[in-house]
Structure 1
Amino acid sequence: MSAQPIPEKRSRRKLILILTTVLVLGAAGAGGWWWWSGQAQAGGADAAAAAAKAPALYFALEPAFVVNLVDAQVVRYLQADVQLMTRDAETATALEAHAPAVRNRLLLLFGQQSATQLAQRTAKERLQEQALAEVRDVLKAEGAADRVEAVYFTSLVTQ
C-alpha cells in the first residue's frame, strides 16, 4: 500500500494560476487607486480655481428676525440678523426676488426653537444647516438658481 505521489505538474499549474490571479488583482487595484486619486486631485483643483475666481456675494435679510420661542414656562424671544452667501450672481438675484418666501420659511423655522436648545453651539450650527436647507428648498420650488453656500448669523440674541 504505497501512497501515490501528487503529480508535480498539476500543483505547479495551480500555483502559477493563483499567483497570476493575485498579481492581476493587485495591478487592477493599484490602477484604480491611481485613477481615483488623480480624479480627486483634478476635481479639487477645479473647484478651488472656480471658488477663487468668484467673489462671495452676501445678501442681508432685513429687518432682523424676531420670533417667540417654544419655551413653555416663560415667554422667550429670538432676535437674529441673517446673511446668505453665494458666489453666483443668478442666485443673488433669485434671493432678492424671493426674499419674502425665504423670510417666511426662516421665521417658521426659528419659531420652532427653544432657548435651552440655542444655548449650545452645536444647536446653533444645526440651525444654520436647517436654515440653509430651507433657503435652498424655497429657491428650488420657485425654479430659481439655488447655489446658496452658507447662512450666517451676524447677530443672535435670546431673551
Structure 2
Amino acid sequence: MSAQSPATAPATGSKLPWIIVAALLLVVAGGAGWWFMKGRIAPVEQAAADTPAASIRKPAQYYLFEPAFVVNLADTDAVRYLQADIQVMTRDPETVKALELHDPAIRNRLLLLLGQQSAHQLAQRSAKERLQERAKAEVVAVLRAEQAPDKVEAVFFTSLVTQ
C-alpha cells in the first residue's frame, strides 16, 4: 500500500465548483424573474402613463342662480306661474368664474326656456328631466358663445313650484 501525500490527494471535498454553479443559477433565475415580471408590469405602467392627470376627479362645485326664477307658464287655460331654484354643477373652478361673469345672459336664456313650459308638462318626471338637459344645453351654449370655460356636468332644480 502506498500512502498518498497530502499534496497529491484528490480534492474530494472542494466546494468551489458548487458555489460557482449555485451563484450562476441565482443570477440566471433572478434575470428570468425580472424579465417575466417586467413583461407583466409594463402594460399596467403604460396604462397608468396613458391616463391623464386631469382624470383625477375633482370635487363638485355648485353655482346657485339667485334670486329664484319666476316665470309665467305657457298654459292657455289659466294664468300659472313657475318658481324654480336652479344650480349648476361643475368640477372646474374656471367654469364657476364664467358662470358668475355671464350670469345675466344665462338667466335670460333660462327664463325664456322656463316660460315655454306648461303646468301639465312639469307634472311629469320625464318632462322635468328633459327640461334639465335643455337647461344644461342653454347654459353651455351661452358659455361657448362667450368663449368661456364650459365644463358643466349637470343642472339641478333644487326647488320647482308651479301655481
TM-score, length-normalised on structure 2? 0.67
Find the counterpart in structure 2 of residue 121 from structure 1. 125
Unaligned runs of 5+ in 1: 1-37
2:128 partner letter: K
Aligned to 1:50: 55
- Say which of 141, 146, 159 aligns to 1:137: 141
Q: Which has the larger radius of gyration?
A: 2
**Unmatched 5+ stretches in structure 2:** 1-42
Alignment of 1:64-75 (within 5 A): 64-75=68-79
Distance, in Å, in 1 between the alignment partners of 2:118 and 2:89 is: 26
- State the percentage of identical aligned residues: 68
Aligned residue pair count: 116
1:67 and 1:142 map into 2 onto residues whose CA distance is: 25
Q: 1:86 aligns with which of 69, 86, 90?
A: 90
Measure the CA separation in 1 of the matches of 2:64 and 2:75. 28
1:106 matched to 2:110:
yes
The runs of at least 4 aligned residues of structure 1 exceeding 6 Å deviation read none
Q: 2 CA distance for matches of 1:103 and 1:96? A: 11
CA distance in structure 2 between the aligned counterparts of 1:57 and 1:80, rounded to whole angstroms: 19
Which protein has the bigger helix share?
1
Root-mean-square deviation (Å): 2.0
SS of residue in 2 equivalent to 1:113? coil
Partner deviation per Cα, 1:13-48 (whole Å, 9 max, x = no partner) = xxxxxxxxxxxxxxxxxxxxxxxxx9xxx69x958x
Cα 1:119/1:147, change in 2 over 3 Å: same
Q: What does residue range 23-62 of structure 1 map to in structure 2 within 5 Å?
A: 46=51, 50=55, 52=57, 54-62=58-66
Superposed displacement of residue 62, structure 1: 0.5
Distance 1:116 1:89, change over 3 A: same
3-state SS, counterpart of residue 65 of structure 2: strand
Q: Secondary structure at 2:130's aligned position in 1?
A: helix
